[in-house]
Structure 1
Amino acid sequence: MARSKSRRNRIGIGEIVWLAVLIILAILIIYPMFWIVMSSFKDYNGIFKDVWGLPKEWLFENYKTAWDRGISNYFINSLIVSAGTIAGVVVLTTFAAFGICQLKNKLASVCFLAIMGGLLLSPQVCLLPLYMLLKNMGIKDTYAALIIPYIAFRIPVSVMLIRSFFIGIPKDLEESALIDGASLFQIYRKIYLPLSKPIVSTVVIMTAYYAWNEFVFATMFIDSSQRQTIPVGLMVFSDGLMTNWGVVMAGMVIACLPIIVLFIVMQKSFIRGITAGSVKG
């Protein structure tokens, strides 16, 4: 027994190699973020004359300057677009996944495959048709010009994840609710939605990351600076502050904060949702 326990407690060469690889990857990911944060508290000389050192004087006013010079406008625009995209994706994909799960014939497979066909479309290929469509609809250079395409391109993968989760919900709960006289909408609202919080959290994080960082559509479909989102705004922001990189770095940190905070708050549900969605259905 003692020998078997000691063997289980030993760390093999393979585990050491994987641990070393994970540590190296963590350093490669964390250090650039650490450097950006530290540089956001420096002035021009501090960044270029002491690249690897900590700030000798912590310039917290860089964040105020970045916020006042335009980051606040880009930040609010991205919040509006991301919130609208998340709401649209969650409502449409949960309804679609629930409807597909309710169909008991081949139509369910046809509908699911039709939605999954959206994965074959590249956003870059659709740029020109989307541009002309939004222009003819009269919604180009509005928030809707970004929200509608974002929702459309996030529907396929979101439906796939949510449907996979819905399939794993015991049918006994639905049958009991039907016997008690519940409607399909009540079953959707009171059974499926509460139980699907992990996968919905996963969809929310993935959608927020996409909408917050998307650049191509935001460049093509928005003309006015008043409606530019964070990715495009940072490019304009950095061009206008070529000599003040500390303020530019502060703007980058502000742009990253919402997604980081969202992931920290929802990380447990995100991991549970990814695990559940990958093994069911």
Structure 2
Amino acid sequence: MTTSTSTPTVQSPVRSAPPPTSTVRVVGRRLRGLAVALLLAVLAIAVLYPLLWMVLSSFKDNREVFDHPWGLPGQLRWENFAKASSAGVVRYFVNSIIVTAASIVTTVLISAWAAFSLTRLKIRFGGFALGVVLGGLMIAPTVALIPLFGLLQSLHIYDTYWALIVLYTAFRIPFTTFLIRAYMIDLPREVDEAAILDGCSKSQAFWQVILPMCRPILVSSALLHALFAWNEFAFALVFLNNPNLKTLPVGLMDMQSRLLTDWPVQFAGLTMAALPMVVLFLIGQRQFLRGLTEGMGK
């Protein structure tokens, strides 16, 4: 008589299926997006909070500045801005506008013409000329203060607006030419040929065809130069002695020495000096970003 024995089957534990790959990717993208958003929020606070603190402090009095430096002003003291204006900020403001606007026009136009020559015209020693222009990026302005002092005196433009306009133009042409050239490289040459077939000369093609097509990079170059010229300090301090010609950075430093204890008036002057650049960048930010991204990507 045979006895049959059955071996019990051991059931393996049920394993949960791994999440789909698409779900993991979605979660990863969301985490990366959250990390980027947090980083941008921290950067925004780091940039905007000092500006907001400066604006709020311009409406305080000295006691509030020292007793409640992080608090809100008790009232809006617009007279601080009137005091800053009477202390010379308006004059410094006008001087900065004159120097900045004039140097923007000269720098952008000369750099655009140089970039056009290097990219659209066949000139002798074009590569060498490009190297010389880009070599100007390595020259530190402060190193040339002493020889520039004698040069400006020999040209009889020392202690004039032209001293800053010429220097700002000369030292910014290499960088501005580099930006505009990078944008012009991939502009279709068929446009030039069509303009010449229509009877345009090279200069007419530059002014009527190429320059309008380069509007984004021209705006970007103008904004970058405006930021440089508006805040430049060393040249404005060394090459201008007339108090009536001082620009905002030097003028605000001079005002600080005369109004040492009136900090709200100082903050009011700083707010007036920072406001134009903030407004200018808000107006031209779309063209600014477009010019830089398209130019640097070529």
Counterpart among 177, 182, 195 of residue 200 in structure 2: 182
Structure 1 residues 170-211: Cα deviation after superposition (integer angstroms, max 9, x where no partner): 111111111111111111011111111100001000100000
Query: 2:279 matched to 1:261?
Result: yes
Look up the equivalent residue of 2:239 and give its one-letter code. F
- Superposition misfits of 4+ residues, deviation over 6 angstroms: none
TM-score, structure 2 as length reference: 0.89
Q: Is the 8 A contact 1:37 1:250 kept in 2?
A: yes
TM-score, structure 1 as length reference: 0.95
Query: 2:168 matched to 1:150?
Result: yes
Q: Secondary structure at the match of 1:125?
A: helix
Counterpart among 228, 235, 249 of residue 217 in structure 1: 235
**Aligned pair count?**
279
Counterpart among 98, 113, 117 of residue 95 in structure 1: 113
Query: 2:152 matched to 1:134?
Result: yes
Which runs of no fewer than 5 residues in structure 1 stay unpaired? none
Aligned pairs (5 A) from 1:58-69: 58-69=76-87
Deviation at 1:12, TM superposition (A): 4.9
Give the equivalent residue in structure 1 for 2:263.
245
Bigger mean CA deviation after superposition, 9-18 or 101-110: 9-18
Task: Give the helix-richer structure, 1 or 2.
Answer: 1
Query: 2:133 matched to 1:115?
Result: yes
Counterpart among 27, 30, 49 of residue 48 in structure 2: 30
Look up the equivalent residue of 1:197 and give its one-letter code. R
Q: Is the 8 A contact 1:165 1:276 kept in 2?
A: yes
Q: Is the 8 A contact 2:99 2:164 kept in 1?
A: yes
Tell me the distance in 1 between the aligned counterparts of 2:277 and 2:109: 21
Deviation at 1:13, TM superposition (A): 4.3
Look up the equivalent residue of 2:292 and give its one-letter code. I
Quick one: percent identity of the two aligned structures? 39
Aligned pairs (5 A) from 1:52-63: 52-63=70-81
Q: Is the 8 A contact 1:101 1:108 kept in 2?
A: no
Deviation at 1:235, TM superposition (A): 0.3
Give the equivalent residue in structure 2 for 1:172.
190
Structure 1 residues 119-165: Cα deviation after superposition (integer angstroms, max 9, x where no partner): 11110111111111001211110001111010011000100110111
Deviation at 1:91, TM superposition (A): 1.2
Q: Is the 8 A contact 2:117 2:123 kept in 1?
A: no
Tell me the distance in 1 between the aligned counterparts of 2:147 and 2:163: 13
Look up the equivalent residue of 2:168 and give its one-letter code. Y
Deviation at 1:92, TM superposition (A): 0.4
Look up the equivalent residue of 2:118 and give its one-letter code. I
CA RMSD of superposed structures (Å): 1.7
